[in-house]
Amino acid sequence: MKLKIFTSCAPSRNNQLDSFKRRYSIQSKLGEGAFGDVFCVQSRKSKMKYAAKVVKNKKQQDIILQNDEYVPMEVWALKRLSSHPNISTFTEHHEIKDKLVIITEHLEGYSDLFDHIEEHGRLTELRARNVIKQVVDVIGFCFKMGVDHRDIKEENIMYNPAGDQIKLIDFGSASVLSKHPYRLVRGTDIYIPPEHYLYNKYYPRPGAVWAIGCLAFCCLSSFTPFTSINQIVSTGPDWSLMAHCLDESFDFVKCCLKTDEKKRMPFHMMRHHVWISDRIEELSNLELECSI
């Protein structure tokens, strides 16, 4: 069956579509989501493979002024960030009729972390530590560059178990980092911090700490900590799911998932927590194979 990304565009009327078809051939479909699909495409010239994210409705994307030109927020974010080793390298984008196509590197050997955990179960302490350490570092880089990802979760972490390497993907919910609290929610409801549901606002960094805590809980237990808003604001996670964990990792997650944001671990302190800091030694002696 021949794959088609665009079914409603007349080639002769759309220079961007002509350009895209001259540059790339569609190889396979890599995934799909509520806002669009991802395809593997191949450069007709170099024969290199790339990932092509096709946003179904480009009007759903915020735009930002860059060099006297308005560009989609996701494109702006990727251009600023793709020099980082934990973010997919941005190549180019096309705006074709009502669709936005974003071309990034093809991640051979990677699968999203959600699928990996579904198939193999929870990560070992060492693997979980390596993943979360990279996530903290890359989110810190995003903040430094003035970008807030705003949708940290397993599905947006591509994972290569061969080297425990991660890539942060999908900046479709991203925004310019704000000093003020967000009142418009973005991202995934069960990863949004409780202050949003309690007070209708949340700050970027405490929000990111909360989401990273949710991610760490899932890596270490294979379960999401929250399945409902009531659980987020009231009952809390089932901590028995982490009974097998080291004291250090258990403490890290608990410090991230404090309901009171003032008691939550500050973002700038995450990298210094003993579980993911470079000071801890005993994790290197753990067996990697026990939960792969």
**CATH number for position 101:** 3.30.200.20
Q: Same domain, yes or no, for 25 and 132?
A: no
Q: What is the span of the domain harbouring residue 35?
A: 11-105
Q: Which of 64, 81, 105 is the last residue of a domain?
A: 105
Say how far apart CA 274 and CA 251 lie, in whole Å. Answer: 9
Residues 39 and 152 in one domain: no
Q: How far apart are CA 52 and CA 101, in angstroms?
A: 6
| CATH number of the domain that residue 278 is part of | 1.10.510.10
139: three-class secondary structure by DSSP: helix
80 and 118 together in one domain:
no
Kindly state whether residues 129 and 200 are assigned to the same domain: yes
Domain boundary residue, one of 105, 124, 140:
105
Residue 286 lies in a domain: yes
Residues 33 and 59 in one domain: yes
Q: Are 88 and 136 contained in the same domain?
A: no
Domain tally, the chain: 2
Spatial distance between the Cα atoms of 224 and 120, rounded to a whole number of angstroms: 15
In a domain, 6, yes or no: no
- Can you tell me the distance from the alpha carbon of 58 to that of 94, in angstroms, rounded to the nearest whole number? 11
β-pair partners for 112? 158
292 residues of the chain, pLDDT tens digit each:
556 666 554 444 467 788 888 999 999 999 887 778 999 999 999 999 999 999 987 777 788 877 778 889 999 999 999 999 999 999 999 988 889 999 999 999 999 999 999 999 999 999 999 999 999 999 999 999 999 999 999 999 999 999 999 999 999 999 999 999 999 989 999 999 999 999 999 999 999 999 999 999 999 999 999 999 999 999 999 999 999 999 999 999 999 999 999 999 999 999 999 999 876 555 555 443 333 3
Return the structure tokens found at 28: 């396979």
- pTM for the structure as a whole: 0.90
In sequence order, the β-bridge partners of residue 38 are 31, 53
Among 88, 105, 122, give the residue marking a domain's end.
105
Contact by Cβ (8 Å): 54, 41: no
